[in-house]
Chain A
């Protein structure tokens, strides 16, 4: 039996896309790049100490004293070790892919919750996306978007979007049938039911998904650095390839600090909102 020429097929699909969808990819690349640039411009605008001070205030609002202390001390260490611009690049990349994941993932999750047909397609695709080794995404991403931060964001989004979709779907489906029935019984339109009842009640679950998505995209930064995404991941990658243990540890520590701060922020944002409401 001859071997199925799967690799050839994939190659020809990629070739076709490269030829005919180039304009679309350019547009996507422009959009993504400008978002990343906007974030890093915004974050690099103030002096690091000013940035840290603002971060501290936000941390206090979101998670009280302990988060404030951790964020301030952590980012001071990063600045002190000399990884400030790289960390900001990485933060911008992670926030961009997080933002794109939410913009795409939440509506997809809602769709999957509403339609059995949609979820029958979306769920296996998500399984595929999550289990396919992340390196495999790098090649087509590079083919379509060349080197740099854009394919890094694309690869991160593909790798990191599944939890947002899954948990949005789960969150909507978990809203008790009696509550959606009550919304219907009072004459809500589907939009009113979604925005006034289902989404607010699903919010903690959706936020858990967003939190996971951000963590996953952060875990992609080292891999993304292989295709030219600047940032702290590139420092780790360089240290590894040059066997500089100390430098690798420093850069790795910066990733950890960033990860913990992002994690606590996304975990707490919703809780404080609820308390205030």
Chain B
């Protein structure tokens, strides 16, 4: 379900923004408008739909207009043109009262530098949104404590914000935004001010929270790694316009233009690509065959081991050519020689974790899904190949 629709929204700064808008439509560049008309284009005709429950990341370098864009979504900045529909209602057509209602009930915001009120305790900060709605003291305190517990800050409610570390302060910011129980959470570079390790933790926690809460999150960041880690979809911005919208994989594997390609070329792929990207089609044999058939298959394909599966494709183990020929001589069955404790990983395992496992194992890595079914195989060369940029969409597709 679409919860937030942004249609052709622009924001221009200057004394005659409408004029700048017309020139944009006539094809003038942002630079030319700034130079000749003294109008700054903040956001340039942006459109996208955000689905209920997704994490939509808006990514761009500083000056790309992402922070302006997020402020248009709750009208902290007035758009120059376009429509912003929240559950079908146009935010721009609302009067002050209705807009306040939306801000109180539907959209909350988390800020880059936390923006906690220093004169209020942690709990009073979290209560703020309810307090201005005149919710009675005991109720809002209860809601605040719940929301603080959610972000792991139980017991800190009566401290002042500056007694807390940066990471904890941003948890308060998050708790404050959650206390209103909004449908949409706007997070403006929420983790950018934190140091890298804490940022990582916060990202993990946000994903965990999101699993429980299923909010719609609009997350602004300049950090591609962050965008790729947490985004269900990413909108990449440049000069106020959206250059590409897609899933992290689409952005990485099918960049829309040179700009995106240059943007993503420095990405540490090992932290982004997963087992499902680099796995190959596995060679398998079912348990009811004998060692002779197994050896024949291996010889034909030129490989030295085979995965053994049952009829429902469930992985049982792996056999090697050596063991198979040994079995043939000693008249053993397949079950006697199958290695049951070979390494297995899930399809979402990150590449950098695969490294270690492949280097320690003699047999290839099996990729199994949640039901224990074999979906692919990973050979050491494929991991390295993917990191070297060889990965091609056709190759990484898991076989059906």
Contact = CB atoms under 8 A, between A and B. Distances in A.
Interface of A: 176, 178-179, 181-189, 192, 196-197, 200-201, 274, 277
Interface string B52-78: 000000000000000000000010100
Given A186-B180, A187-B100, A187-B104, A181 B132 contact: no
Given A181-B76, A187-B129, A197 B101 contact: no
Given A186-B104, A189-B132, 14 more contacts: A181-B76, A184-B103, A185-B107, A185-B109, A185-B186, A186-B103, A186-B132, A186-B176, A187-B101, A187-B104, A188-B100, A196-B131, A197-B117, A274-B119
Interface in B3-41: none
A130 B109 CA distance: 44
Interface in B263-301: none
A186 B178 CA distance: 11
Given A182-B109, A182-B111, A187 B103 contact: yes
B113 interface: yes
Nearest to B112: A178
Contact of B132 (A176, A188, A274, A277): A188
A136 B128 CA distance: 50
B115 A192 contact: no
A24 B100 CA distance: 42
A201 B132 contact: no
A185 B118 contact: no
Given A185-B74, A186-B103, A192 B119 contact: no
Contacts of A183: 128
A185 B131 CA distance: 14
Given A192-B132, A196-B132, A185 B117 contact: no
Contacts of B133: 187
Contacts of B180: 186
Contact of B108 (A185, A196, A200): A185
Interface in B83-130: 99-104, 107-109, 111-113, 115, 117-119, 128-129
A102 to B, nearest CB: 20
A189 B118 CA distance: 20
B100 A178 contact: no
Contacts of A192: 132
A201 B108 contact: no
B119 A186 contact: no
A196 B115 CA distance: 14
Contacts of A201: 117-119
Nearest to A201: B119
Nearest to B121: A277
A259 to B, nearest CB: 30
A181 B188 CA distance: 12
A242 B131 CA distance: 64
12 contacts: A176-B115, A179-B115, A179-B117, A182-B111, A185-B74, A185-B107, A185-B186, A186-B176, A187-B132, A192-B132, A196-B128, A196-B131
Contact of B128 (A178, A181, A186, A189): A186
A186 B318 CA distance: 58
A192 B104 CA distance: 13
Contact of B103 (A185, A197, A277): A185
Contact of B119 (A184, A187, A189, A200): A200
Contacts of A274: 119
Contact of B100 (A176, A182, A189): A189
Interface in B122-154: 128-129, 131-133
B50 to A, nearest CB: 18
Report the 9 A-B pairs with minimum CB-CB distance, sorted nearest first.
A187-B103, A187-B104, A182-B115, A185-B109, A178-B115, A186-B129, A187-B100, A200-B119, A192-B132
Contacts of A181: 76, 111, 115
A274 B177 CA distance: 26
Contacts of A200: 119
Nearest to A186: B129
A192 B130 CA distance: 12
A94 to B, nearest CB: 29
A188 B131 CA distance: 10
A201 to B, nearest CB: 6
B384 to A, nearest CB: 46
Contact of A184 (B76, B131, B186): B76
A218 B99 CA distance: 49
